Amino acid sequence: MNEFDAEYERQLDEARERAHSHGRDDVVAYLNLRAANDALRAVGIEWLLETFSAHVGDLNRAGAGINVARTEAHRFKVGNSTMVGSRLVFRTGLRTLTVEAGWPRGPRDGIVRGGGLASGLIEHFGNRAAGEELLLVPSGEGPPRWLVLERTGERVELREERVRRHFTKLFI
């Protein structure tokens, strides 16, 4: 857990303790739900970033020479809302692939559209059409899953073959 997330967790714990000491069980229940959703968000975001990182690792072992930079507590816009999370940037020459994933942390940050837990963006520098917007959704009993929000309005599950296609576009 990075420093930003640790501070966020500490503040949630303090809020839960204050609510409990004032007999605000409704607020405690809300904060417990938020903590459970935050845990699902963290799992989903880590899967996304690890999936992209694993593919770049395979490519680099084959000699691709892709540079990787990760940023935590990264803020980015999705629609009118501000997400806070992580960013991975993959560079090779002048080409850049950026993956961002996060969720609003405060009331002023806005909301995750579409009923999701978190939002994500995949962007190709210089090729806006190749980018995609993502939505992390709960999946009942299992881990959450990422959906690609197609321009047609359709939602398609993000699978590893689609991640591989993003790296193919990075070299074209």
Residue 51 identity: T
Q: For residue range 71-90, list pLDDT tens digits in order.
A: 999 999 999 999 999 999 99
Query: 78, exposed or middle or buried, with CB in 10 Å at 0-12, 13-18, 19+?
Result: buried
Cβ density class 148-161: b for 16+ within 10 Å, e for less: bbeeeeeeeebeee
**pLDDT (mean) for 131-135:** 97
User: How would residue 1 be classed by pLDDT, with cut points 50, 70 and 90?
Assistant: low
- Looking at residue 13, its pLDDT comes to 83
Residue 54 identity: A
CA distance 70 to 100: 10
Q: For residue range 21-76, list pLDDT tens digits in order.
A: 888 888 888 888 888 899 999 999 999 999 999 999 999 999 999 999 999 999 99
- Looking at residue 96, its pLDDT comes to 97
